[in-house]
Structures are given as structure tokens and as C-alpha cells.
Structure 1
Amino acid sequence: MNKTTRILAAAVLGLGASAVSASDFPQGPIEVTVPFAAGGGLDQNARAFAKAFSEALNTPVAVMNRDGAAGAIGLAFVAGARADGYALAFTPAVSLTSQPHRVKTIKYGVESFSPVCHVFDNIFAIAVLANSPYKTIADVLVGARKEPGAVSYGTSGIGSIPHLGTADIEAAAKVQLNHVAYKGDGPMMQDLLGGRLGFGAVLASSVRAQVQAGTLRLLAVYSDQRHPHFPAVPTLTESGVPVVQLSFGGLLAPAKTPTAVLDKLQAACERAVKSPGYVDWAAKAGQVVEYQPAEAFGRKLREDSRAKAATIQRLGL
């Protein structure tokens, strides 16, 4: 057997082994990386999903927290993992569609992953105290035009979804707001509830208790659809401000994962997202869940990456 024949034979054998592996997938535990710390909302979501995902695949699914650098450490780990379907990421899109545009040392991008499925939406909202003079987003803009920079708003940090979304409001409405960036939602909520901010840009589900208690009111949501738990709250677009700032996430595999493996993962993901156990958990947690297949999820990731790149460039972040 000459050298060329040996190379071809090895390639054929390799392809055969890959095909067998894909057809028999999964043959062992799957590890799902959450690129943020344990105990938070994303971690709780991932663990509820992993339970349903494990049942759908009939194999153990372990959740591992690899936090740091706003999700970049965990995503870099998965991007560099073996593309066999056994190492996945459960992540919000922002760590993939925004961070690489802000941090030039990040080596991964949208093309570093194979989308598996869209799982959840995080819908952010503009929240004010119940006794605030702002009844609508139009009232906020009137105040901002009257005195540029006088209306303050708080977010969980520079470059966060609420910051980017509110910066888009400023650009669309041609107003100047006063951004107060905090290190997390906790300190920001303290100042919002203490009356030291004009409004807070918050995850809607995280303030459900305060809204139900009548402490806070929501003026509008940043998404392209109303929040199912707050159906009376309009979107920004419905309020006359043409801004949509999406926050969503789902399951990713390393790029070049075999199609047969991705198909099995996607089918299991659909069963998991629609399973009674996960649906019940989401309803109790106020988490918006929506299954979308890999193709739609990938398209959404690419569109979001382009949109966030434009906002980040405009802001000089």
C-alpha cells in the first residue's frame, strides 16, 4: 500500500468512525457550561433546562459554572472544546454578540459556535417609582428635552443590554440622558427605590414583586414583543421610539460539530423547552421561554451581533 492509498484509507476510516459516533450519540454524560456564577438567574435556568434536557436525551447532563470576564471565559472554553456534542454552552447571547466587539483580546466570535437552539428571552424594561411623574416613555423624553442630562437612569453596568438599549433611545429620540452605571442590579435597585434615579433599566422579571406590590411601574420594554407577564406594558416601538434591544439565549456547541449530532441535540432541546417540568419552572420564575431551531437561532445571533457592533462603535466603547 503506497503512501497516498494509506492516507485515503485512514480518511475513510476516520469518516466511518465519526459517522458511527454521531449515529450512536450520546454514549455518555454531556457537560453544559454556564459562563456566569452559580446561584444567579441564568444558573437556575440552566439547571432546570438541564434536567429536562437529560430526560429528553436519556443521558446525564452536568452543569458547570465557568464564570469571569462577562461570560468570555466560559464561552472561550466551549469554543475550544472537542466538537463532538459533549461540551455545550447555555448562555445569553450578549457574551457572544457584544463582548467580542468591546474586548479585542477575545478570540472567539459567532462563527466559533454551532447554534443548537434558542431557549429563552430576557426582556428588559424601563421602571420608575409608583409616584414618579413619568407615566410614559414620552414623559421621560419631554423631561430630557427640557433639560439635557437632567434625567438620570441606572443600569447594571457600561456595555450592558440596558445601557446599549437606552443609548439607542437617546440616538433615536435625539435626547441626552444621564447614565449611572452600577456594579450589578442590587446597588442600582437601592437607588431606584430610594428615589435617586429618574428610572432604572431592569430585567422585567426581576422586579415583578415590586410591580405587583405597587412600588414600581413599568413604562416600556426594550424587546420586539410585550412581556407575557406584563401584557399591558408596551414596547418602545409601540410607544413611538423605534428601538429594539434584544436579550436572548440558548444552547451552543463548538463549531464543526457533526450535523447528525446537532440534529439530535436540537430535537432534545425542543422536547426539553416544551416539557411540563421546564414550562412549570419558567412560569414560577417569570422566565420567558421560546424554542427556536438552530437555523433561526443562528440568524438571530448574527443579526444581533451586527446591531450591537454598530451601537458599540457609535458609543466608542
Structure 2
Amino acid sequence: MTEEDLQTLAGLTTKSSRKKYLKYLAVKEGHKQARKEKQQKKKADKEASMKQRKELENSEEEEGDQDGHRLKNTMFLQFWDRTLDKLLGWRTAQAMRFGQPIVFDLSYASNMSRREIENTVSQLMEVEGWNRRATEPFHLHFCNLQPDSLYKKELVKRYGAETWDRLLITSTEQHYIDMFPREQLVYLTADSPNVLRSFDHSKVYIIGALVDKSIQSGLSLANAKRLKLATARLPLDEYLHWEMGAKNLTLDQMIRIMLTIKDSGKWEEALQFVPKRKHDGFYQRQTQTEVSNDRPRIVKKHQENRIK
């Protein structure tokens, strides 16, 4: 109680008025105490949040140091992001002019449910991202992309109209057989009887933009046969111990495999992107150390294939 409050209280003449004034002072003091506690709690929460953020930033910096990546929250971060974006953009722009084309066939909308098309678009976005970050990217072609198709609507929705228009890819409603010489086209499909034993830099490889939960076997192969195109499948059986199950891979796995085989020419490196849950390892790795009756087991000869 302040001196001013005491003077006010002394000036009251009746018992009831002094009682009301004391009650008023008590309520006022309660509000003051509540505000003080609230401010202290807010300050403690802020300090705890800052401490947690600092610990997180320190851990991220340590991880960045270990991985050889850029440090977080440094004066070079914004500069690095801008420079990296320009570099990646330059590589992709160069690929559009001089790079090897690779086609994603977007003609399967009628064969998929809406959910499957949405999953396909998610994978196509992964494809664009992995290709953009590659050292030597492909020139991506999204062919048979009809303006009113669910493919197009979902792509524009996910990217945003402005970003979609700026993407360094060729998206067109044209058919790939009208864009490239037929003899250059090779349709990659898991159902093909032909094995892609070597990567040909003069070919235009086609991948069906299809997520097929119901496993409509032979759909892309039938499409390629109807167009009288050459077909090939990845050498999964030749390199991987594949027990059972469909050999369909996701679109993002396919682009990573194709980027690696194009750059390195080694299937052992490229097929590292096949999920390990689908196979029991490489044939060469399993057989090269196994010995029976002092004689090494036979390793398949086609394991020695390399790109020249």
C-alpha cells in the first residue's frame, strides 16, 4: 500500500467505505501480481525457445561440418543459395539446348485413378528435382501432356502457375513420335524381352508416366508395340538377385538410375537406387567370394559389361 493509498483511506469517514476501498486495493494488487507472473512466464518461455533453437542450430552446424556441407546461419548462406540456383539453372538450360533428351509419356491418364495420377505427379516433381541437381542433366520432355488433363492441372497446382511456366523442361501435348526420329526412340518397360545392356547416348529413352497399383501388366509394352518402337528393360535379373515380385520402379528411381548409368557407365552404381527391399543383393557380390570344393562358383559373364 502506497502513502497515497493510506491518505485516501484515512480520509474515508465510514466503515463501509473504508472496507470497499480496501477490497478495491486487494483486487488491484491481485491483477498486478497476475500480470507480473504472466510476464515472467512469457520471458521464461522465450528463453527456453531461444535455447532450444540455438541447440538445434549448433547440431545442424556440426552435421554440416561433418558432411562437408555449408554452415547454417552464416553470412555466406544467402550468397551460396543464389549462386547454386544459378549454377543449377545454367546446367539445365544448357541441357535444353545440347543435352540428351529423355521422354516421360503422359498418355496414361485414362488407365489410372485420380489418386494414382496424383502419385504420378509427385514422382514427376521428384524427377524434375533430381534432374535439375544432376551434374549433366537430361533435357526433360513431358510429352502427351494435354492442356485439360488431370496431369496438367495437378502439375500446375503443385508448382504454381508462375513456377511451372519457368521450369526448364519441355512440356508439350505433342507425341514423341512427332518430335524425334522413330529409329532413335527406345521405350523402357519392365515387360520388354530385350535387356538394356549398355547406355546409348544417341538414343531417346521413353519412360511411361504411370503409377499402377493394380499392376496392369504389359500396358506400356503394348503401347510401344502399337507404335512399332524399340523396347528395352533394365538388367535387373542380370545384376540383382531378384526372388519374386514385379520389377516396376518409381519414376524418381528411374531418373536416378538413368542419370547414373549415363554418367558412370556402371550398372552396379546405377542399380544402387533400386530399393533393397526388392532384392537380395548383387549376383557378383554374392558369388565372387563363395568357394565350393576348391573351385570358385561361376559368375555370370554379362556382369562385366561396361559402357564404352
Give the TM-score taking structure 1 as reference length: 0.23
Structure with the largest fraction of helix: 2
Q: Which structure features the higher share of strand residues?
A: 1
Flag the structure with larger Rg: 2
If the length of structure 2 is used for normalisation, what is the TM-score? 0.23
